[in-house]
Structures are given as C-alpha cells and as structure tokens.
A and B are shown apart, each in its own frame.
Chain A
Amino acid sequence: MVYFINDIITGALIGLLYSLVAMGFVVIYRASKVFNFAQGELVIIGGFIVWFTTMQAGLSLWLSIPLSLVLAGLVGYAIERIFLTKLIGESVFSMVMVTVGLLILLRGLVLLVFGPAVRPFPIIFPLKPLFLGDMLIPMNLLIGGIITIVAAVGLSWFFNRTRSGLRMTAVAEDHVVASSMGISVKGSIAVAWVLGAILSTIGAMIFLSGKSLTFLASDIGFAALPVALFAGLESIGGLILAGIIIGIAQSLTTNYLDPLIGGSLGSVVPYIIMLAILLIRPTGLFGWRTIERV
C-alpha cells in the first residue's frame, strides 16, 4: 500500500512538471490564440542556456539560474520580434504555421550551435530523494511541483487581476478590436513569449537536473500537450488538476498495468485521456466556451 501511495505521489509530481511545460502553451495561447508547436524546443533552448552558463561559463548556480532566465526571456522576445510581429492581424493559422517552422529551425540551430553530443546537465536540485518512511520522493520533482503551483497561482493572478494580464486576454479575443481599443497587441504578444520561454527554462531545470541534455529532450513538449488540451488551453489553474490526473494515471499504468501487458501503455495513457475528454468536452475541462450570436 505504501508503494501504491508513493507511485501516486510521484505520478502527481511528474504531472505537475508536465503542467509547468504546458503553462508555456497556455500563456502564449491566452495572449495570441496561437498554439505554439515549438514549446518543446523552447525547453531545449532553455536547457542549453542553463548548461552553457553553468558548465561552460562556470558560473555558480545562484548566478547562472537568474541569468539563464533573463537570457531565455530575451530569446522569447527575439522570436516574437523576428517571426511573429509582422503577422499581427493576419490569420491565426499563419502564426501557428510559423511555430511549426520554428520547431524545425530551433532544432537545427541547437545542432548547429551546440552540436549533437549528449551532455551532462548540471545538478540543480539535490539528487538524494526525500524519504518519508518507506516512501521515496525525487527532490527535483518535489521542488518542481511547488514551483509549478506557485507559478500557476502567480500567473492566474496576473491574467485575472492585473491590467496587463487582462489586456493580453483582450488581445487573444481579437487583435484588431484590441488595437482599436488602444491596447498594444505587439507588447502583449511579446510578454507572452517572454513568459513562455522563462517557464520552459524552469521546466528544463526540473526535468533535466542531474540527467543528460540532448535535443531529444524536446519530447517533453509532446508529453505536456495532453495536459494543456485536457485542461483547456485558456486555463492556468486547470493545468494543475489536469497535470495531476494525467500524471497519476500514467504512473499507475506504468507501474501496475505495463508489467502485466509487457508494453508501454503508460506513455499512451495521457493521450487516451486527452482524446476521451475532448470527445465529451471539446474545449477541455476548464477551457472557455465561446458563444457566437448570429
């Protein structure tokens, strides 16, 4: 029974890591109605920035972490300025296609700049797990879970209680209308990409702490996708619940069903849950329902 509870806790914490990466999807979507297919690549870019500042530049973690977050924010800002600003007012489809192009471009850039070698990622969180009796909780996931919840509360407050956040929501509704109301569409979208890049970098630190770094780590973006769609692409608070549900379902499947069937159903379960929810409620659990009056 202890192990069963332990698997539930670990699963919930892995789910929260997915939620953090999915938050990048949601922040950008909420500000621009653009689904960023390159979210996993932003995680990799963030990971390489952290690796470079610590392992290459030799900075201490206390210095490299804030510096990496600033650099990641600048990368997000640059991406928005170079690729997306000119598309404001164009169809959302064009912007989404640009993110598909970004996915390929960023992968190529990572290979070109950093090369293909598998690198050791710095140990940011203690490797020694937390022992609660017979239970064992990985420290990076535990601290990551706390960071995710704090980030979710902070971002919910930002989007729902601050003028900047509400302006971003208005931008997502309609670029032209928001512009005509005096809201800076460019500014709002830029803030969203900066936030998305910073969240991805935090996700990279939790995900990769003490492990290895290659561009394959971008797969975490696909792992986070079911969480974002399950929660509904506009809900930050919903991500927490969706992440926990998906993480627990995945953990229990991996630990109890997979050994029986001799396969990897655990990696598929998040997508099964996502599809089931989308069939019942196409906007996800907490997504906004748009009512159009004709």
Chain B
Amino acid sequence: MTYQSNRGLRGLLAAAALAAAATMPLKAQAEETYNLALLSDFSGPYADIMPILAGGREAVFTWWNETRGKELGVTLNYKNYETRYDAAQVASLWPGIKSELDPIAVVGLGGPDVAALSERLPEDKIPMFMATAAYGFAWQPDAWIFNPRPTYSHESVGFLNWMREQRGGDEPLKVAILASEASPAYVDMAKGLELYAEEHPEEIDLVEVIYTEVQPTDLTGQMRRVVRAGAEALVIQTNTSIVVAAKRGLQANGANIPIMVSSHNGLPASGGALGGLEQMEGDFEAYGMAIAADEDTPARQFYKTLVADYGLEAPWNVVTAMGVSQGLYTVTVIDHAIEANGAEGLTGEMVREALFAKPITTEETHGFLPTLSFTPEAPFPLEGLKVNVGTVKDGKITIGATGVDVPQVEKW
C-alpha cells in the first residue's frame, strides 16, 4: 500500500467519521418520544361522534410528527382510552394510564374527565387539554385542565346578544333553555345562563329553564310552556336526542322557535337525527371555534391538507373541526414548550408553563381557534373571547357571523 493510498484511506475514514458525527445529533433528536393519553368515548353517549372527533385529533398528531416533529426531533405517541363518558371509569383508568404511558399531556373529551381528574392532575403534574367549551364548576385558578373555548354559558350569552342585535329593539331577548341533570356539565350550562340573565335583565329574559332526560319520552308539554312564554330562542347545548324531541315538541305546537345548539350536538348531527339538515332550517350553532361551513377558509384548507396527505377520513363538519382544533392547540403548546426548554426531558409541568408563557395565535391553529392567551386565573382565556355563529340556509350550513364578542360573564 503506498503513502498516497494510505492518505486516501485516512481521508475516507475521516470523512466517514465526520459524516457519522454530523448525523449523530439528528439521530439523538429523532429519539425523543413523548406520550399523549387520549380519553375517548366509543361506546357511551358520544359514541356517535367519537370516531370523527378522534380522527380529527389523530390526523393532527400525524401531521405534526411528520412536519414540526421531524424538525424538532420529537415524536408524539398517543393511545386512546375508552372512558364511556363516565367519571368513575376515568378515575379507575387513570392510575393505569399514568404508569403505562407516563404522558406529558392528556387529551380529554368532556365533563366526566374533568370531574374525575381535576384533583389528580395537579398532583401528577400533567395538564389536560379539552376540545369542548369550559365548565363553570371547573372555573378555578391554577388549573391543570384547559379549554380553548370559554364556558358554554359564555358561548350562549355571546350568541343571544348577537341575536338580540339582529332582532333590534331595546327589549330583552326572551330565551328558554333545555338542560338535563344527567351530567354536571349539562346543569352547568343552565346555571351560568341563569346567573347572566339575572344580572343582565335588560339583555336576556330567561322565560323557561327545563330539565329533561337524555332521551326524552315527550316534550310537547314542555315546549307548550316555552311557546306560551313567548320565547324567541331556545338554547340546547346537551345532546342531539334532546334537540330532536324539542323540535318535535315545537312542531306539535305549531311553533318554530330558533334553536341554538353547540358543537358536540351541532346542526349536522341534530339535522341527521331528524332526517335531514333542512329540518334545522333557521336554527343556529354557536361556539368559540371555526364553523365548518362551505366557505373556503384557512381552517378548511388545513382540513383538506389533512385529508390529502395525512389520512384524515372524517367529513368536513363541526365535530371534525373540534378534533382538529383540539389537536392543533395541544401540539402548539408542546411546540412552545420544546422551544423554551429544548426537546429533551420535557415534562407535563413544562408544557403547562408554556401554555401561560406565550399566546397560541390563530395562525398557529390555522384559523380553527381565535388567538388564545391563557392565564393562571382560569382554565380558559378570559380576554378576547369570541364566538362564531353557523346557521342552516336553504338546507346548507352557512356562516351567520364570525368573531362575535362575548360579554363578561361572572363566575357562578
């Protein structure tokens, strides 16, 4: 072997060593994996919407892993846990989830998750990110459970004030609410609106507060009370079965009072259960999240990306939007936490701190959510609250209004 060839070999080895050294940090980055626990209800009261919602949030995690995750050298693993929307089930599952996954965050579904874990998560130092609106009973400082939307009562109040403006005049809007004692969250929706109406009689006249079962036998009599009281709007933020029974009750009374529904029992779901969206003509859905209407919005464009490139199969509707927005603000907070602390050794506590440290802009959530500025005072942003309004016009969902201001609602 000549000197020349030895030098060539040494050069080759040196180049190989350099290349290996250059790739080592990348390799180490790609090894950072964090777990998310997803609480789901595939066999309980929300089993009908769960596959769609789950599809939305999982597609976002896939998208993040393949884009930002790759850049940062982080992979987010997730696992669904079946809770049947039952607080007892959530409570019994939690120790196992913690020991199996050691998650840096929980992606929750609804009221039972909040009821079961609100005392445990601060001790375990793991934040939970919800998709739904917030609950009055969980409106506490130093929260570990967060909602991207204000309470259901904030959302209904925002909508009702908008509706009063649309109607015109100085008279308060006559409103009825249909709730249920089947879930603490359902009661909470009514209590918040009741308090607001009591404190703002010039805006809302709450003429009827009706509690019923989750699958009512007949609401004809109750709807007659609503009609007799002269209600101009009927708020139903519970489930689709109650919307259907109320609609039939109103039809039996020959009345057509506009119904306002929320995201989880939105216009497509309630219309479908009634036999067609046209049955909900003139009714509304309102929430602090993008409306899944036909218009070409940034949110819809992002949805199309998820469908085209990341395997999302769910249709473009409010439930998918809910899942996508939940996924988006969850990964954005984790992204912020990685920016602040580095990719290694991320903990649930760091993720929570990142939530307060920096706002989640509407651009980061592709217009699915308004800019969210969380503070330790509440589990949801207290400033800049907005709701969007969707309605059914000519058998199609259209945007009624966007960025409707939510007035200040006192804690109840």
Q: Which residues of A contact B (CB under 8 A)?
A: 3, 6-7, 10, 14, 17, 107-108, 111, 116-120, 127-129, 136, 138, 140-141, 207, 210-212, 214-217, 219-220, 223, 251, 254-255, 258-259, 262-264, 266-267
Do the beta carbons of A263 and B47 come within 8 Å of each other? Answer: no
Do the beta carbons of A111 and B241 come within 8 Å of each other? Answer: no
Instruction: Flag B234-270 by CB within 8 Å of A: 1 or 0 each.
Output: 0000001100110010011100000000000000010
Do the beta carbons of B269 and A118 come within 8 Å of each other? Answer: yes
Please name 13 further chain A to chain B contacts, defined as beta carbons within 8 Å, in addition to the given A108-B43, A223-B213, sorted by A numbering.
A111-B47, A116-B42, A120-B273, A127-B248, A136-B252, A211-B244, A212-B240, A212-B241, A212-B244, A217-B241, A220-B217, A254-B221, A267-B211
Q: Is B118 interfacial (CB-CB < 8 Å)? A: no
Chain B residues whose C-beta falls within 8 Å of the C-beta of A207 in the assembled complex? 217
Chain A residues whose C-beta falls within 8 Å of the C-beta of B224 in the assembled complex? 3, 136
Chain A residues whose C-beta falls within 8 Å of the C-beta of B194 in the assembled complex? 262
Complex Cα distance A255/B224, Å? 10
Do the beta carbons of A216 and B45 come within 8 Å of each other? Answer: yes
Q: Is B220 interfacial (CB-CB < 8 Å)? A: yes
**30 residue pairs bridging A and B, Cβ less than 8 Å apart:** A3-B224, A6-B221, A10-B218, A10-B221, A14-B218, A107-B43, A111-B43, A116-B42, A118-B269, A119-B273, A120-B272, A127-B248, A128-B252, A136-B224, A136-B252, A136-B253, A207-B217, A210-B248, A211-B248, A212-B240, A212-B244, A212-B273, A215-B47, A216-B214, A216-B241, A219-B213, A255-B222, A264-B180, A264-B211, A267-B213
Do the beta carbons of B47 and A212 come within 8 Å of each other? Answer: no
Which single residue of chain A is at the shortest CB-CB distance from B225? Answer: A255
Complex Cα distance A14/B217, Å? 7
Query: Quick one: which of B11-57 are within 8 Å of A by CB?
Result: 42-43, 45, 47-48, 50-51
User: What DSSP secondary structure best describes chain A's contact surface?
Assistant: helix
Which single residue of chain B is at the shortest CB-CB distance from A134? Answer: B224
Chain A residues whose C-beta falls within 8 Å of the C-beta of B45 in the assembled complex? 216
Do the beta carbons of A141 and B218 come within 8 Å of each other? Answer: yes
Do the beta carbons of A214 and B241 come within 8 Å of each other? Answer: yes
Chain A residues whose C-beta falls within 8 Å of the C-beta of B217 in the assembled complex? 14, 17, 207, 220, 223
Chain B residues whose C-beta falls within 8 Å of the C-beta of A212 in the assembled complex? 240-241, 244-245, 273-274
Do the beta carbons of B272 and A251 come within 8 Å of each other? Answer: no
Do the beta carbons of B48 and A263 come within 8 Å of each other? Answer: no
Do the beta carbons of A118 and B43 come within 8 Å of each other? Answer: no
Chain B residues whose C-beta falls within 8 Å of the C-beta of A10 in the assembled complex? 218, 220-221
Do the beta carbons of A127 and B241 come within 8 Å of each other? Answer: no
Chain B residues whose C-beta falls within 8 Å of the C-beta of A14 in the assembled complex? 217-218
Q: What are the nearest 9 A-B pairs in CB distance?
A: A116-B47, A264-B211, A120-B275, A212-B273, A118-B273, A212-B244, A264-B181, A116-B48, A216-B215
| One of A107, A120, A127, A258 near B252 (C-beta < 8 A) | A127
Do the beta carbons of A211 and B181 come within 8 Å of each other? Answer: no
Interface size of B by Cβ–Cβ distance < 8 Å? 38
Q: Is B209 interfacial (CB-CB < 8 Å)? A: yes
| One of A107, A118, A217, A251 near B221 (C-beta < 8 A) | A251
Chain A residues whose C-beta falls within 8 Å of the C-beta of B180 in the assembled complex? 264
Complex Cα distance A138/B248, Å? 10
Distance from A3 Cβ to chain B, minimum over Cβ atoms (Å): 8
Which single residue of chain B is at the shortest CB-CB distance from A264? Answer: B211
Do the beta carbons of B215 and A138 come within 8 Å of each other? Answer: no
Query: Quick one: which of B37-92 are within 8 Å of A by CB?
Result: 42-43, 45, 47-48, 50-51
Distance from B176 Cβ to chain A, minimum over Cβ atoms (Å): 11
Complex Cα distance A7/B225, Å? 11
Query: Quick one: which of B261-310 are within 8 Å of A by CB?
Result: 269, 272-275
Complex Cα distance A217/B214, Å? 9
Distance from A139 Cβ to chain B, minimum over Cβ atoms (Å): 9
Chain B residues whose C-beta falls within 8 Å of the C-beta of A6 in the assembled complex? 221
Q: Is B117 interfacial (CB-CB < 8 Å)? A: no
Q: Is B188 interfacial (CB-CB < 8 Å)? A: no
Do the beta carbons of A138 and B218 come within 8 Å of each other? Answer: yes
Do the beta carbons of A258 and B274 come within 8 Å of each other? Answer: no
Chain B residues whose C-beta falls within 8 Å of the C-beta of A3 in the assembled complex? 224
Complex Cα distance A3/B222, Å? 11
Q: Is B402 interfacial (CB-CB < 8 Å)? A: no
Chain B residues whose C-beta falls within 8 Å of the C-beta of A118 in the assembled complex? 48, 240-241, 244, 269, 272-273
Chain A residues whose C-beta falls within 8 Å of the C-beta of B245 in the assembled complex? 211-212
Distance from B31 Cβ to chain A, minimum over Cβ atoms (Å): 38
Distance from B334 Cβ to chain A, minimum over Cβ atoms (Å): 30
Complex Cα distance A120/B213, Å? 18
Query: Quick one: which of B166-218 are within 8 Å of A by CB?
Result: 180-181, 194, 208-215, 217-218
Complex Cα distance A17/B217, Å? 9
Complex Cα distance A7/B181, Å? 22
Distance from A2 Cβ to chain B, minimum over Cβ atoms (Å): 11
Supposing A119-B273, A216-B215 touch, asked if A211 and B241 sit within 8 A by C-beta, the answer is: yes
Do the beta carbons of B212 and A264 come within 8 Å of each other? Answer: yes
Do the beta carbons of B240 and A262 come within 8 Å of each other? Answer: no
Which single residue of chain A is at the shortest CB-CB distance from B179? Answer: A264
Which single residue of chain A is at the shortest CB-CB distance from B45? Answer: A216
Supposing A129-B220, A136-B224, A259-B208 touch, asked if A116 and B248 sit within 8 A by C-beta, the answer is: no
Complex Cα distance A223/B217, Å? 10
Do the beta carbons of A263 and B181 come within 8 Å of each other? Answer: yes
